[in-house]
Structure 1
Amino acid sequence: MEVTIELPDEIADQIRNASGDVARRVLEAFAIDSYRSGKLTGWQVRQVLRLQTRFDLDALLKRAGVFREYTAEELERDYEASRQASAEHLRACP
């Protein structure tokens, strides 16, 4: 799908001067806002913006001050992995 928006020339010039590609900046803003509001998943944002890796997505979200969705299950899994790693480290280093 192709979407066209109209901006006053002076605003488009400000965006272009500050950050280059106006279309890319608008698309990023749309994708970030849609992610923030739960309308798009991280995977969908990567598709929209053609980001290669999850690290690219995380960097974009960090620059925008948006934190990725983190479920209770992910937290529990990370906690358990950390606990096991700590226990293994303590056994290996008496």
Structure 2
Amino acid sequence: MEIQIALPDDVAHSLELKWGSLERRLLEMIVIVAYREGSISVGKVRELLGMSTRLEVDTFLKATGVELHYNEADLEADWQTHKQLRQEGNLSLVIRH
């Protein structure tokens, strides 16, 4: 679906100077609201914004002040992934001081 809005040229220009692409900014705003209210998942956020990883989505959402949805099912899935990576020898420990 394509949605069009009308803005006075001076307002559009001013906002573009501040935000860059208005189309992108509006898409991000819609995605943020939809995620906050539970209408779309993290996977859909990633798809709509063209992001390649969950970490990229989490970073974007945190930067915009959105509280991440994380429940017991997410924890269990992460734990299973951790176990699988450890069994395959693909898990490395990084300690930062």
- Give the paired residue count: 80
Moved over 6 A (4+): 76-79
Identity of aligned residues (%): 38
Matching residue of 1:64: 64
- Pairwise CA distance, 1:56: 1.3
- Provide the residue aligned with 1:29 in structure 2: 29
Equivalent residue number for residue 51 of structure 1: 51
Give the Å deviation of 1:16. 0.4
2-side partners of 1:54 and 1:42: how far apart?
Answer: 7
Structure 1 unaligned blocks of 5 or more: 82-94
Question: 1 or 2, which has the higher helix percentage?
Answer: 1
Q: CA deviation at 1:42?
A: 0.7
Structure with bigger RCO (C-alpha 8 Å, 6+ apart): 1
- Cα distance in 1 for partners of 2:67, 2:44 equals 16
* Equivalence for 1:10: 10
Q: Deviations over 1:40-93 (max 9, x none)?
A: 1111111111111111111110111002111134457879x8xxxxxxxxxxxx
RMSD of aligned Cα (Å): 2.2
Q: Aligned partners of 1:12 and 1:67: how far apart in 2?
A: 30
Unaligned runs of at least 5 residues, structure 2? 83-97
